[in-house]
Amino acid sequence: MKFSLSWLKQYLETDASLEDIALKLNAIGLEVEGIEDPAAKLAGFRVAKVLTADKHPQADKLQVLTVDTGEGVLQVVCGAPNARAGLVGVLGLPGATVPANGMVLKVAAVRGVESNGMMCSTRELELGEDHDGIIELPQDAPVGTPFADYHGADPVIEVAITPNRPDCMGVYGIARDLAAAGLGTLKPIEVLDIAGSFPCPVEVRTDDAEGCPAFYGRVIKGVKNSPSPQWLQKRLKAAGQRPISALVDATNYIMLAYGRPAHAYDLAKLNGAVVARRARDGETVVALNEKTYTLDAEMTVIADDSGVHDIAGIMGGEHSGCGDETTDVLLEIAYFDPERIARTGRKLNLTSDARSRFERGIDPNFLDTGLDHLTQLIQTLCGGEASQTVRSGAAPATPKIVHFDPALTEKLGGVRIEEAEQQRILESLGFSVVAEQANFDKAWAVTVPGWRPDVDGAPDIVEEVVRIHGLDKVTSVALPRADGVARPTATPTQALERRVRRAAAARGLHEAVTWSFLPSAEAGAFADGANGNGGALWSLANPISEDMKVMRPSLLPGLLMAAKRNLDRGASSLRLFELGRRYLRGEGGASDERLALGFVLAGEKVSRGWATGKAATFDAYDAKAEVTALLAEAGAPVEKLQVMGEAGSQFHPGQSATLRLGPKNVLARFGMLHPTVARQFDIEGPVAMAEIYLDAIPGKKGAATFARTRYAPPALQAVTRDYAFLVPAELAAGDLVRMVAGADKANIVSARLFDDFRGAGVPEGQKSLALEVTLQPLEKSYKEEDLKAISDKVTAAAAKLGAVLRG
């Protein structure tokens, strides 16, 4: 929300400086995002008079001017065609910075003639688009006066308005807050009560009482549309609005001043009654932004007998807009359901100033007053004769009453404020306070004004009192702490997240942070994960947009979308990971959040080169290596993991697998992206990916997780033995490794595969697997009979899988 200081002071009687106003706005929760001070931008520019203008001796299109600055005469070289003796304009002195391009003026020679500064055009000072000549001021303009003082330096303040403060979407609401905070006196809104001199010739009604409970209208005949006066244009420009015409600017002015959107229709372009109704499925309208929108029956529109003219509460139609030829107008002011406006805007992906106000909730009691002020402004700017007001329906005007105990302010807000001061603050903000006796405790009945739909209960009242009193007056109190060394504050889950995140980064993966919301199609593609939710998705009732309406069931679609964006921008190799929550449906429809880590490997694993040859891409084994390393860092018993299928329909069926502890507990799934899913995400080339379910890692007995403990090396040296087995060709090597490792758990600490041979000497239908087995003596060194006993256990265990020790 942007507004000029003079506009604010139209409603707030105050002598406070710009700095004091900015500080107070921040103190009461209206964060100042920026201040544009024209006086600072125009520093170094003065009103100056050209005394003489002679031809430049070395250039036909340049003149050498002598300029009176009020403090002396300077020589300036100028190329403007309108430069002449007697002209009063604006001179930029040496040292001044030109606003349009940031150039710092200095004394310089132009074609051999010294020039002290520059005579300026309106474009150079960012006061307009004219660049054909230098600024010409009236002859009585005071020479030597700083141009900022002459032109009128009106600072512009920009504040961030949170979604719960619709009252501050107008300058008057901001003035009200500042007055309540003691920074001046709020000027009351004038009650006009324009009766109108003739009956309204147009039927105005609402046929959608849910979407548009109240719809008011009035006709003004005989208007003359023209450009707005300068004071109005300056205020609109300060607020970031482009002046269009007096009729359109008047509606925008009322919206920005009071937070009350309205609309003006060219009466000659309307046909029959003007009605607020539900749109029909497939109905279209060309909006003022020149785009065509297709509507559905869940949207409210303003229409006549010819069709739709307005997407209600969001944007008017191009057909019925006011132009230079407009002579009669229909003014519309209405109350629209905030949720309906928000849903319509998201469906159409259409934002506007009107939508941002209606979906927050506007004052339902400001219909007549707003219409009267709009009528008066249009008659002042364009003339015309107003009709009587036509009213259809009624806005929800039942006052909200909150029962409030003033003692709650100290209890919840942490600051003691006298009851009289609390009452003053509330009444300054527009609340009415009546003392009541309830349950033998002193309490107030606080009536909430219509412009504060965000206030629902007593804690909201406390917030209003405390922020106006001053958040800086709330004493900081340290949290209680036990004596001695502070205990760790991180939970086991937080410690796990930190450890795994560092490990992923150390392995060369780059962390990505993606949205927790996804488009429906992308989320649906990952709804049936191997450790998933049966395909049920969480769809939000109030999403940010239609493209972000489903909670992610997996981290992989967000990472794939991030990979797509990076690949499209020329990235040759991607190693992205994300650690976060998946959102599933639990029993009974309850939310089920699960901690996971996902990663995507795309592009080149190894670039082409004289030593490496052709470029190599990532494969499923790269994904498995990363998964195994990260699971080990998370404390999972990787030596016990089983490689099984069923990674999910998103993975290539022949190049993917899951890692499990037992047949049901899936710790991770990994492999290559399925070509069909790759096409859905518009990704070219092979993509390896994986998802680790950190919440599925079981805990040790007596511990929350498989967290690593401090390593203490054994006293005796380990012994290694190699075994080569002939096994069936279809036997998974991992199954043999696990079987051998479990043959003697007291002595065997690890087993790993180091050779897989198929060829000469190996019977057809078999393969040779060689394993290195590490034995760790505990109390005494092994004797030969000990090693033979362990070897017998190893060969016996391998034989259960059909493995035979090679001779």
Residue 768: partners with Cβ closer than 8 Å, 6 or more residues away: 724, 725, 726, 727, 755, 756, 757, 758, 762, 806
Q: How far apart are CA 700 and CA 710, in angstroms?
A: 15
Q: Which amino acid is at 596?
A: A
Q: How far apart are CA 654 and CA 672, in angstroms?
A: 9
Distance CA 136, CA 226 (A): 24
Is 281 flagged in the annotation as binding?
A: no
**Closest C-alpha among 442, 424, 429, 683 to residue 561:** 683
Among the listed residues 433, 416, 468, the one whose alpha carbon sits nearest the alpha carbon of residue 178: 468
Give the tokens for residue 468: 């106006």
DSSP string, 126-186: TS-S--SS---B-TTS-TTSBHHHHH----EEEEE--TT-GGGGSHHHHHHHHHHTTSSEE
Tokens 């905070």, located at residue:
181
Between the alpha carbon of residue 573 and those of residues 31, 521, 690, the distances in Å are: 42, 26, 17
Burial environment of residue 53 by CB neighbours within 10 A (0 to 12, 13 to 18, 19 or more) = middle
Tokens describing residue 723: 């075994």
* 249 is annotated as contributing to ligand binding: no
Task: Tell me whether residue 463 is annotated as binding.
Answer: yes
Q: Which residues pair with 593 in a beta bridge?
A: 583
Query: Cα–Cα distance between 737 and 360 in angstroms, integer?
Result: 63
Going by C-beta distance under 8 Å and a sequence separation of 6 or more, which residues neighbour residue 482? none
Does residue 317 contact residue 285 with C-beta atoms inside 8 Å? yes
Using DSSP's 3-state secondary structure scheme, residue 23 falls into helix
Is 587 within any annotated ligand binding site?
no
Q: What is the DSSP letter of 462?
A: H
Q: What's the token pair of residue 527?
A: 């709804």
Work out the angle at residue 283's Cα, subtended by the Cα atoms of residues 280 and 289, and round it to the nearest 5 degrees: 130
Task: Fill in the amino acid letter for 703.
Answer: A
The pairing of strands 284-286 and 274-278 is unpaired
Specify burial of residue 441 (Cβ count, 10 A radius: 0-12, 13-18, 19+): exposed
Tokens linked to 727:
């096994």
Q: Can you read off the two tokens belonging to residue 472?
A: 């800086």
Give Cα separations from 196 to 72, 215, 747 (angstroms): 60, 18, 101
Q: Give me the amino acid identity at 469.
A: H
79-101 core/surface letters (b: 16 or more CB in 10 A; e: else): ebeebeeebbbbbbbeebbbbee
Positive or negative torsion for Cα 745, 749, 750, 751: negative
Residues 792 and 769: their CA atoms lie apart, in Å, by 18
Q: Which residues pair with 183 in a beta bridge?
A: none
* Binding region for Mg(2+): 454, 460, 463-464
* Binding region: 454, 460, 463-464
